[in-house]
């Protein structure tokens, strides 16, 4: 809108200048014509009339032109120098969120700053580790939703700034609003979380435990169908390189306990070594757009490149991002027809419990499943914690947007936007 004001002012200025010049030429031309028609005693009278005409036209031009130039100058000095409409996010934290101002400033960030984030991410393994010295804020699926991002930007910044030992974990799926462009701020979400990594990186040290912000990959950061819908306008090597370096899973160490975190589900073939610091996971490249059909299924028409990726799509990494956990042990008790249709991609709770027991984890923390309750008890103090940070079904009080906090007092699941309820687990 502001750029349109500039164009209008420039147009008025040009019109004023042309009008003034044309009027001057007209006046001059009229004088010459009258003079050539008569060389008699009326010459002096005609000259007097022409001078009056010229003065009137000049006066009118100046009366119109000078205010336009003055007004234009005032407006132009008030407008910011950068072009493009404001996103509305830059005012959330003055001096910190300025790069989220508009398309141009975000493109500049991708070009100049994102490679620095990628270098930090390269320090992390596919199974990253977080040695939490303070509280941990956990964010689930955001899907670029405007109202959620506006809440989370100041919330995450203040949480990290309030205590140098605090950490933030994002469980993936921070882009792609599932075809709802009217509330899609996927680029803002991605760049804000990436920027937090850089803003709150600890002292220079090869030890990744100094990284206070952990951004995991979800299925929407792995299949390009989400990217192409939400980020195709900005896609470039810098963005792709950064996302390819995101870890797949995370071990959180806190108060002599450890927790396993991933976007989707665990895989029985996953092997954890060195007390949760090593595994058989590896970082994988982004998937091709055409690799996926309905509900994430593999397309039968695979070209040569996609055939190579098919092996990846059957990998442990893929399962950690895509697969789900059954609400009940028996597949016949699935809570929805959608779950029944995809039950082959669902792991029973007993398999999750077996994994946690085998590798000494107290809980599995995940996102992905918007219709799962926040806490699924597995018995013997083992749990699945599901954090979904967007509201899917406003009428269901159990499914509203939430974040979680691991504190010295236990686990707190906080609902926001629609209500302020908090679920607390003291023995977490």
Q: Mind listing the pLDDT tens digit for each residue in 130-186?
A: 999 999 999 999 999 999 999 999 999 999 999 999 999 999 999 988 767 667 899
Nearest to 230 by CA among 183, 296, 177: 177
Assess if residue 106 is contained within a domain: no
Alpha-carbon distance values, 136 to 106, 223, 257, 278, 409 (Å): 28, 28, 13, 21, 12
**Residue 239 shares a structural domain with residue 343:** yes
CB 201 within 8 A of CB 120: yes
Q: Give start and end residues of each alpha helix (H) in 223-303.
A: 224-230, 237-244
Nearest to 191 by CA among 136, 137, 230: 230
More confident residue, 293 or 280: 280
Task: List all residues 6 or more positions away from 327 whose beta carbon is below 8 Å from its beta carbon.
Answer: 333, 334, 335, 339, 372, 373, 376
Task: Dihedral sign for Cα 40, 43, 49, 54, please.
Answer: positive
Per-residue pLDDT at 373: 86
**H/E element, 11:** helix 2-37
Per-residue pLDDT at 19: 46
- Give the CATH number for residue 391: 3.60.21.10
Q: How far is CA 281 from the centre of its chain?
A: 26
DSSP for residue 164: T
Residue with tokens 């031009």, as numbered in its chain:
61
281 pLDDT band, cuts 50/70/90, is very high
Tokens representing 234 are: 């900005």
CB 170 within 8 A of CB 202: no
Tokens representing 81 are: 């120098």
**Residue 180 shares a structural domain with residue 74:** no
Q: What is the rounded CA–CA span in Å between residue 257 and residue 135?
A: 13
Assess if residue 95 is contained within a domain: no
Task: Report the number of distinct structural domains present in the chain.
Answer: 2
**Residue 152 shares a structural domain with residue 12:** no
More confident residue, 273 or 73: 273
236 pLDDT band, cuts 50/70/90, is confident
**Residue 259 shares a structural domain with residue 351:** yes
Assess if residue 153 is contained within a domain: yes
More confident residue, 319 or 304: 319
421 pLDDT band, cuts 50/70/90, is confident
69 pLDDT band, cuts 50/70/90, is very low
Assess if residue 83 is contained within a domain: no
The domain containing residue 193 runs over which residues? 113-425
**Residue 161 shares a structural domain with residue 212:** yes
């Amino acid at each position: 809108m502001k750029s349109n004001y500039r164009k209008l002012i420039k147009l008025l200025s040009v019109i004023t200048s042309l009008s003034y010049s044309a009027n001057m030429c007209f006046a001059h031309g009229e004088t010459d014509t009258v003079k050539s028609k008569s060389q008699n005693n009326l010459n002096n009278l005609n000259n007097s009339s022409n001078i009056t005409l010229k003065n009137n036209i000049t006066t009118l031009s100046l009366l119109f032109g000078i205010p336009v130039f003055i007004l234009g100058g005032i407006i132009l000095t008030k407008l910011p120098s950068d072009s493009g409409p404001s996103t509305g996010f830059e005012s959330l934290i003055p001096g910190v969120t300025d790069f989220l101002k508009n398309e141009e400033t975000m493109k500049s960030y991708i070009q100049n700053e994102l490679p620095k984030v990628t270098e930090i991410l390269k320090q992390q393994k596919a199974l990253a580790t977080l040695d939490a010295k303070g509280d941990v804020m956990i964010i689930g699926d955001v899907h670029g939703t405007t109202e959620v991002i506006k809440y989370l930007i100041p919330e995450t910044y203040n949480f990290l700034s309030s205590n140098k030992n605090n950490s933030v974990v994002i469980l993936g799926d921070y882009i792609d609003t599932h075809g709802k462009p009217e509330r899609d701020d996927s680029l803002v979400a991605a760049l804000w979380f990436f920027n937090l990594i850089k803003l709150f990186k600890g002292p220079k040290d090869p030890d990744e435990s100094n990284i206070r912000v952990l951004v995991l990959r979800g299925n929407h950061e792995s299949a390009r169908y989400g990217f192409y819908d939400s980020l195709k306008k900005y896609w470039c090597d810098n963005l792709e390189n950064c996302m390819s370096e995101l870890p797949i899973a995370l071990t959180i160490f806190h108060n002599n306990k450890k927790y396993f975190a991933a976007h989707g589900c665990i895989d029985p073939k996953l092997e954890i070594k060195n007390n949760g610091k090593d595994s058989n996971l590896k970082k994988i490249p982004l998937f091709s757009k055409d690799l996926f059909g309905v509900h994430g299924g593999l397309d039968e028409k695979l070209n040569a490149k996609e055939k190579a990726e098919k092996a990846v799509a059957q990998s442990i990494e893929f399962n950690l991002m895509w697969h789900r956990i059954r609400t009940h042990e028996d597949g016949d008790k699935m809570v929805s027809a959608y779950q029944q249709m995809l039950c082959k991609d669902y792991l029973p709770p007993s398999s999750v419990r077996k994994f946690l027991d085998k590798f000494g984890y107290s809980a599995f923390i995940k996102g992905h499943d918007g219709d799962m309750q926040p806490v699924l008890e597995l018995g013997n103090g083992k749990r699945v914690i599901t954090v979904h940070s967007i509201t899917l079904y406003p009428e269901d009080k159990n499914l509203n947007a939430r974040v979680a906090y691991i504190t010295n007092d236990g686990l707190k699941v906080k609902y926001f936007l629609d209500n302020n309820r908090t679920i607390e687990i003291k023995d977490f």
